[in-house]
Structure 1
Amino acid sequence: MSENTSTLENPDQPTAAPEDADPNEVLFTDFNLDGRVLAALTDVGYEKPSPIQAATIPLLLEGRDVVGLAQTGTGKTAAFAIPALSRMAELPATKSTQILVLAPTRELALQVAEAFSSYAAHMDNFTVLPVYGGSPYGPQLNGLRRGAQVVVGTPGRVIDHIEKGSLDLSQLQYMVLDEADEMLRMGFADEVDQILSRTPAEKQVALFSATMPPAIRKIAKKYLNNPAEISVKSKTSTGSNIRQRYVQVMGAHKVDALTRILEVEQYEGVLTFVRTKIATEELADKLKARGYRAAAINGDIPQAQRERTIEALRDGKIDVLVATDVAARGLDVERITHVVNYDIPHDTESYVHRIGRTGRAGRTGDAILFMTPREKYLLRAIEKATRQNVELMNLPSVDVVNNNRLQKFSERITQTMESEDLSIFRDLVEKYEADHSVTAVEIAAALAVMAQGGQKLLMEELPQAPAKQARLAKGDRDGFSSRGPTRTLTEGNATYRIAVGRRHRVMPGSIVGAIANEGGLTSSQIGGIDIRADHSLVELPADLSKDQWRALSKTRIGGELIQLELDKGRKPRSEGGGGGGGFKKDFKKREGFKKDFKKGDSYGARKPRHQS
């Protein structure tokens, strides 16, 4: 057994931390990896494995089951993907699913799938397919019919495909549970157990988790064969001269949020990170359309063009550079004052490397992180790994942004009057004023509109949540001293109530999938989900269209109509029907609840108040 491992049969045995050995002494070429996988690692610039990779890869190559105790950001995706692909490369070619990875969220599933695709770039006829809730079944079904050697999915959607018969696991060789504790925290324990029970007994399993609660240890003892247990700690740290802030914002409003920040923050150069190559071009184009000097770099851009773009950032010819992690590797431009994580990284080491692009040479820097409510656990992982708090940043208000715009426009007028010869235009305005019998003010206003080039001068407000929801989100209480939802309401969203809850055995994944599929929403538009006894609260855009309302009114989860409605909270006692009568009526309801409870009935079995 490796000196860095212990077995689950002796959980009290101390586990030697892999960081005791110097990982810098090991190279990926020292492992007995398939040549095609090594070639892909060279393409992405990997040379030296991280501690979790150095400890895990040899064991997985030997065929051992492994439990890895590691925080998000220690490089565990490569730790399980690289040996899995290297072992699969030695097997006869097949279209059957040989590798299954379970991940708690759509975002992590996509990232893991992208990593597998990168490491398998030199393997012919090899397909990686992500499957997750909140997206149409059609493309996923087509992909499974064509054959996918690697399937990366969320537990709810994987179970759906198994039960539909579209996902055949009879030839499965290798299975990974990624972020296992997070999957259980999100309520996927039953789904994980069902999936594992339907896989072949003869398979290799790798389980990765930040913690080892009893439920995880139970799964490991039940489904893993004498696993080696590896524990590593992240050594990541960030400079104290970098101010770190986060903004809670949904995907649909990210461009507006970034625009507000750029309007108000004092910056020189801004480096904005996104996850995909396509997103670099899309975001740069949107920023340019809003008048910003922006450019994109990604892995598909030729090196010469990349160098010209970085030089333009250095010289002040562009102000905002949109990049992927790979494209920004080695980037060192003193002019960068702000790093914006437009897409939150799932790897804390990537986060540290990203924000390290500012605050160079002892200067101060700013790092701003965009996240959705469902990505809160990634923020916690970043704070735990870096041992630093990331402070909440309130977006500048529309009034502040618009006042700033008006002031800048006035300054442009002053600069133009002081620096330009206006005689020709003054004569033109005077002649137009006389010929058309309009005032000079009206002419100036028309010229100002022309100067905007079709761009709106003032920013518009995002859709607003109902006033009562907004008050509760700020910490106010309702008539029963209840705050309602326990999370901050994201700007542009509102809280909706659906008539399914714990007693209907609903899971977050099934709610996301149903609402996204039927309402035509993306999963990034669906915020926090609060599952209660007989109902659930879901955060959705405040400006749902009539078509979306109509579609969602017919939506069912587990056979039950969800009966979507704006959450109004509980009515205060004084609104219960007039003075003391309302209080007595409510008191009787409470007494009835107590009697039913004593009889053994569950509160969830009673009719929800809004239906009574």
Structure 2
Amino acid sequence: MTEAPETDQTAFSDLGLDPRVMGTIEKMGYETPSPIQAETIPHLIAGRDVVGLAQTGTGKTAAFALPALTHMAADYDAGSLGSVPNTLVLAPTRELAIQVAEAFASYAAQLEGISVLPIYGGAPYGPQLAGLRRGANVIVGTPGRVIDHMSKGSLDLSEVKHLILDEADEMLRMGFAEEVDKILAQTPDTKQVALFSATMPRAIRRISEDYLNEPVEVAVKAKTTTGTNIKQRFVFIKHHAKPEALVRILETEPHDAAIVFVRTRSATEEVANKLIARGFRAQAINGDIPQNLREKTVESLKDGRIDVLVATDVAARGLDVERISHVFNYDIPLDTESYVHRIGRTGRAGRSGEAVLFVTPREKRLLRAIEKATRQPVEQMNLPTVADVNASRLERFSERITQTLSSEDLEEYSDLVTSYVAEHNIPAEDVAAALVAMVHEGRPLLLDEQGEDELARAAAQSFDREDRGGARDRGARDGGPRDRGPRQKGAAPVAGAGNAIYKIAVGRRDGVAPGHIVGAIANEAGLSAREIGSIEIRPTHSLVELPESLTKDQWGALAKTRIGGELIRLERDAGPHGTSGPGRKNSDGGYRGGKKRDGFKDDRFAKKTGKKPRWRDR
């Protein structure tokens, strides 16, 4: 096993990537590959199988995506790419699948004829089936949904050339070992395989031995740290509300100068223009700006003519301005090294600094990766309210009046006001109010309370630390689904407050383990670890504690959920004296009791056919 070197000497241009891929990552601000990228990309481009031991946030998505796209670009030029799946990426959660698919699409921006399709649980089949019929070169999916499409005949993996297992240890911990084996078995033996995992348990070693051909093993150890004089906070916010959240923080927190980091060049202009429209002295800086203008912009930041700089990573590289008190990660970085470099722009020369990170619902795992890599917690902050903003505006307005009164010769202006008051018989305070309105050019001095509720909905006020990793954290936290204490053998579990007990039609005879249930329900229904309670696996079925009020969409998603190829047929448990089995549909899309299971008929059916008994109507 080789350990990826921690050096900045290698450049992306040295790795043998396709020129069109290079052009895209240069526009995105990529310059120096991370250790995992520098070590794995040459091996993958050379066609070798790779096992990468790396934590989330080390840049591994680009490590496997860029070489795969380089190979696909060559196939496209040769006319051999077609519209069938060429690359398959398996990810443990739908959030990760979405992120990886978005990254692939971004990296492929300059490549013609290459399409990317995410397929994951908890989403309708229709759009995914339509996408598969149109043809997709890159499929990024969760194991359960990939198996479903394979069983439907809508996903053909017979021509896959590149297969990537992302966060393989998480997939196995969530109970997807059987699905991963089935998927790998349906792909060509000649495929190239890249396996990325944070750890190397025995199950991962087995997959490597069974399915990879003399793989190169690369290990990356996260050694990133952040300054202790930098206070790190995060805001949990939906993407569309970021501009308003940024403005409110800038308006209410005392700051000298600030850098706002975004991912793309176009975003620098967009965010800077929004800040300028709100009265801030802001300027964009990106790779399109000539060096001489960049230097002038930095000088303006140093001498106070600019207070907010909106920048990409590359544009801000080497920037050293002592007056920077705040760094905003408006777009969360995809690797922890970039995060550390970004927030290092504040807290210079022994000063204290503030680092604020905007996290969207899809990006919880990236926040968790940053905390894990830097070994420092990032504190959640509440967004300033309308009352906070208005109080700050009134205070600044009062300070401006006081400063003007003490520093300016106002005799001429005072005479004008006195003359106007005498001529028009209007109170002096009304004239002063009119002058304030003139200064603000029709813009209101204070915010309207109506915007409060909308921003509150876009920001989560209770973002539990234990929930940052989603359902995947359950095994690490307590070894599996929690139990609410001992109970008599055969007694039904008791649900906690706000929860209910549900029955699913798979049990011990189906080889079901708690991890299978947690993984399937969490992915399909979008539930977090804290929302899945006790699990009791019985011979023919299982009992699961879930929220009492599942939404219509969650009922619909779980109605189609399979574990080991079997529908789980979710229904509310009626207890030992009630009826069981799949009942009639409720108005919310779920099922209620009303059908019985005929044990004698099931046993006779099993002996006659050799098949497992199934739920059926009497």
TM range (shorter): 0.5 to 0.7
Q: Is 1:203–2:187 an aligned residue pair?
A: no
83, 93, 118: which one aligns with 1:131: 118
Task: Say if 1:501 and 1:536, in contact at 8 Å, map to a contact too.
Answer: no
1:232 aligns with 2:216: no
1:301-316 aligned within 5 A: 301=289, 305-316=293-304
CA distance in 1 between partners of 2:465 and 2:33 (Å) = 45
For 2:355, the equivalent position in structure 1 comes to 367
Aligned to 1:392: 380
Of 44, 47, 71 in structure 1, the residue corresponding to residue 55 of structure 2 is 71
Quick one: which of 267, 283, 291 aligns to 1:279? Answer: 267
Matched, 1:379 2:387: no
Which residue does the alignment assign to 1:242? 230
Change in 2 beyond 3 A, CA 1:237/1:556: same
Do 2:258 and 2:326's aligned partners in 1 also have CA atoms closer than 8 Å?
yes
Q: Which residue of 1 aligns with 2:600?
A: none
CA root-mean-square deviation: 5.0
Q: 2:392 maps to which residue?
A: 404
Residue 557 of structure 1 aligns with which residue?
Answer: 557
Q: Tell me if structure 2 keeps the 8 A contact 1:65–1:206.
A: yes
State the number of aligned residues: 510
Aligned residue in 1 for 2:341: 353
Structure 1 residue 391 displacement after superposition: 3.0
Separation of aligned partners in 1, 2:141 and 2:355: 31
Q: CA deviation at 1:322?
A: 2.0
Q: Give the structure-1-normalised TM-score.
A: 0.67
CA contact (8 A) 1:373 1:528 kept: no
Task: Give unmatched runs, 5+ long, in structure 1.
Answer: 6-16, 476-485, 487-496, 513-525, 540-548, 562-589
CA distance in 2, matches of 1:553, 1:42: 41
1:293 corresponds to 2:281: yes
Cα displacement string for residues 399-418 of structure 1 (whole angstroms, at most 9, x for unaligned residues): 33322222112223334445
Residue in structure 2 matching 1:80, options 61, 64, 76: 64
Q: Which residue of 2 aligns with 1:99?
A: 87
Report what 1:320 is aligned to.
Answer: 308
Offset at residue 348 of structure 1 (A): 0.4
Q: Tell me what 1:515 maps to.
A: none
Query: Which one is further off, 261-270 or 503-512?
Result: 503-512
Partner of 1:544: none
Q: Equivalent residue of 1:462, what SS?
A: helix
Query: Aligned partners of 1:262 and 1:510: how far apart in 2?
Result: 39
Cα distance between partner residues in 1 of 2:137 and 2:383:
44
Cα gap change, 1:229 to 1:60, in 2 (>3 Å):
same
Contact 2:28 2:263 in 1 (8 A): no
Distance 1:263 1:336, change over 3 A: same
Alpha carbons 1:175, 1:204 under 8 Å: kept:
yes
Q: What is the CA distance between 1:232 and its match in structure 2?
A: 1.7
What SS does the aligned partner of 1:457 have?
A: coil
The secondary structure found in structure 2 opposite 1:556 is: helix
1:71 counterpart letter in structure 2: Q
Task: Provide closer, same or farther for how the CA distance between residues 554 and 376 of structure 1 changes in structure 2, counting only shifts above 3 A.
Answer: closer
Greater alpha carbon shift after TM alignment, 326-335 vs 193-202: 193-202
CA distance in 1, matches of 2:131, 2:317: 33
- 2:159 aligned partner: 171
- How far the C-alpha of 1:170 sits from its partner, in A, is 3.2
Identity %: 52
1:422: which partner in 2? 413
Alpha carbons of structure 1 residues 387 and 295: separation in structure 2 relative to 1, 3 Å: same
Relative to 1, partners in 2 of residues 1:335 and 1:139: Cα closer, same or farther, differing over 3 Å?
Answer: farther
Q: Is the 8 A contact 2:522 2:528 kept in 1?
A: no
Partners of 2:332 and 2:357 within 8 A in 1: yes
In structure 2, the residue corresponding to 1:101 is in which secondary structure? strand
- For 2:381 and 2:159, how far apart are their aligned partners in 1? 49
1:131 deviation in Å?
Answer: 2.9
> Structure 1 464/217 Cα, relative in aligned 2: closer, same or farther at 3 Å?
same
Residues 459 and 465 (structure 1), Cα distance of their counterparts in 2 relative to 1, 3 Å cut: closer
User: Take 2:384 and 2:456, find their aligned partners in 1: how far apart are those partners?
Assistant: 18
Tell me the equivalent position of 2:444.
Answer: 455
Find the aligned partners of 1:432 and 1:537 in 2 and give their Cα distance.
72
Pairing of 1:528-539 with structure 2 (within 5 A): 530-531=531-532, 533=544, 535-536=546-547
User: Which segment drifts farther, 221-230 or 264-273?
Assistant: 221-230
Report if the CA contact (8 A) 1:70-1:76 is conserved: yes
Q: Distance in 2 between matches of 1:301 and 1:141?
A: 44
Match in the other structure for 2:104: 113
Shift of 1:508: 4.4
| Unaligned stretches of 5+ residues in structure 2 | 467-476, 478-497, 506-516, 534-543, 562-572, 594-618
CA shift digits 1:382-439 (9 cap, x unpaired): 12222333333343444333222221122233344453442365146515752xxx65
2:282 partner amino acid: A
Aligned-partner Cα distance in 1 for 2:374–2:580: 48
1:500 and 1:126 map into 2 onto residues whose CA distance is: 49
Name the stretch that deviates more: 93-102 or 346-355: 93-102
The answer to whether the Cα contact below 8 Å between 1:340 and 1:369 also exists between their aligned partners in 2 is yes
Change in 2 beyond 3 A, CA 1:128/1:275? farther
Instruction: Supply the distance in 2 between the matched residues of 1:24 and 1:291 (Cα, whole angstroms).
Output: 39
**CA–CA separation in structure 1 for the residues paired with 2:104 and 2:377:** 30
Q: d(CA) in 2 for partners of 1:359 and 1:498? A: 47
CA offset digits 1:112-151 (Å, max 9, x no partner): 2256327xx4xx5352525366999999778766655444
Match for 2:243: what amino acid? V
Which secondary structure state, in structure 1, belongs to the residue aligned with residue 249 of structure 2?
A: helix
Larger deviation, residues 144-153 vs 80-89:
144-153
CA distance in 2: counterparts of 1:442 and 1:538, whole angstroms: 56
Task: Give the equivalent residue in structure 1 for 2:489.
Answer: none
TM-score (normalizing by structure 2): 0.66
Relative distance call for 1:255 and 1:86 in structure 2 (3 A) is closer
Maintained 8 Å contact 2:4/2:35: yes
Cα 1:559/1:527, change in 2 over 3 Å: closer
Distance 1:553 1:257, change over 3 A: same
Q: In 1, are the aligned partners of 2:521 and 2:558 still within 8 Å (CA)?
A: no
Tell me: CA distance 1:400–1:313, structure 2 relative to 1, closer, same or farther (3 Å).
Answer: same
